[in-house]
Amino acid sequence: MATRADAVIREWFEHLWNQKREDTIDRLLAPGATVDGLPAPIRGPEGFKPFYRAFRDAFPDIRVEVVRTITEGNMVAAHCQVTGRRAPDAGGAPGAPVEFWGMVIVRVDDGKIAEAWNSFDFLGLYQQLGLMPAAPAL
């Protein structure tokens, strides 16, 4: 099971985000899955698709590199680096390159993501886009 949980999360990021294969959502996200840590909690594939489409449209060349994973049973934690460029018509600084880090912990049941807890540096992303002021140096 440990290898399978790791494989699921790696396939999720590679196929969905890097290869832009939206069918990955239906294939790897369980119908009753809960996804937390995004702007709002999301339930199931139909709930995740609008978030995915909006984020992909805002960052059409997004890349998510899984830097490392730690797996225990059917749980896997992934440390990720996200890079991309803001779409010209998406607000913020058009064409601005972005780079930020994050982590996700996922519970995999029957080869699908059943629960996910995300912690990505969206504040850093907003600061890079000029949507939030940078924190002053201490």
pLDDT digits (tens, 9 = 90+) for 5-18: 999 999 999 999 99
Q: Write down the domain spans for the chain.
A: 2-128
pLDDT score, position 2:
41
The four Cα atoms 85, 89, 93, 98 give a dihedral, to 10 degrees, of -20
- Is 2-128 assigned to CATH 3.40.50.2300? no
For tokens 């600061």, what's the residue? 127
Give residue-wise pLDDT tens across range 63-93.
999 999 999 999 999 999 999 998 877 555 6
CB neighbourhood size of 78 (10 A): 23
Structural contact between residues 117 and 104, judged by C-beta atoms closer than 8 angstroms:
yes
pLDDT score, position 1:
40
Q: How far is CA 45 from CA 98, 106, 115, in A?
A: 27, 15, 12
- Terminal CA-to-CA distance of the chain, rounded, Å? 46
